[in-house]
Amino acid sequence: MRNKTILVTGAGQGIGRAVAALAAERGATKIAVLDKNEDSLQRVVDELSAPTRQVSAIVADLRAQTSCQGAFAEAVAVLGQVDILVNNAGIFIYTPIEEIDDEEWDLVMDVCLRNLFHLSVAAVRHMKTTGGGRIVNVASVDGFVPLPEMAHYAAAKAGVISLTRTFAAAYAQDGILVNAVAPGLTDTPRVRAHDRAAVVQPRIPLGRLATEREIAGAVCFLGGSENTYITGEVMIVSGGLVIA
């Protein structure tokens, strides 16, 4: 990622923050971190800023097309151009299938899928003018396996996988590589808050949750210069959970 510019959504904490930090370690010179939480973004900016690196915060609620377009335009204005887009923003809510109402369904779809689509459209329009780029979407193993307690989240992540393949096929000739990473259960603040490890960890062949940095490593590989021939793929990083 040396000398590249990168935009990471949902970067105030968790996997998004880890992606921004690893991109900085690997030589990205301009990083835009996007989240709706201004305080958490500022902490990330303070942690990652350096004399040879520009780190900028973009505060936005990505639930609508106009806000997505505006956020991407702001990133281009701040960075000069966007070489790598990481669509990481998401939300998960534990609700039994029969209790999911329209409001909650729309919230999960907006945050996990709608914004990814609109940001990706903005990105490919921009990248076609700059000679190509990389888009990496954060999906989930829940897009492959049944998840009755979060059916709307699983459906959204299955949609992320589908859109990843569709964008990859549509824009390969423009030099835009589009891939996804599908993490298994990861040791993030949200997962710790819901105490999911006790339920899922016994089913993981490697016997532990993923670290944020391990997921970030997969994202940064697919988004980095080393990836020259992978597009439309979904890298599952689950410690073997999917095969168990």
5 φ, ψ to 5°?
Answer: -110, 140
Residue-number span of the structural domain to which 76 is assigned: 5-243
pLDDT tier, 34 (very low <50, low <70, confident <90, very high otherwise): very high
CA distances from 184 to 71, 140, 142 (A): 29, 6, 8
pLDDT at 188 over 90: no
Residue 153 is a catalytic residue: yes
Answer whether 10's CB lies under 8 Å from 3's CB.
Answer: no
| Arithmetic mean of pLDDT, 106-135 | 97
Across the chain, how many H-helices and E-strands are there?
9, 7
| Arithmetic mean of pLDDT, 175-196 | 87
Q: How many domains does the chain have?
A: 1
Nearest CA among 153, 85, 78 for reference residue 124: 85
The predicted model scores a pTM of 0.95
pLDDT tier, 244 (very low <50, low <70, confident <90, very high otherwise): low
Q: 121-150, pLDDT tens digit by residue? A: 999 999 999 999 999 999 999 999 888 889
CA distances from 17 to 26, 97, 126, 157 (A): 14, 31, 24, 20
Answer whether 169's CB lies under 8 Å from 232's CB.
Answer: yes
pLDDT at 182 over 80: yes
CA distances from 168 to 71, 138, 163, 172, 238 (A): 22, 15, 8, 6, 23
Q: For position 190, what pLDDT does the model report?
A: 75
pLDDT at 197 over 80: no
Q: Which residue has the tokens 């151009």?
A: 81
CATH number for 105: 3.40.50.720
Q: For position 242, what pLDDT does the model report?
A: 85
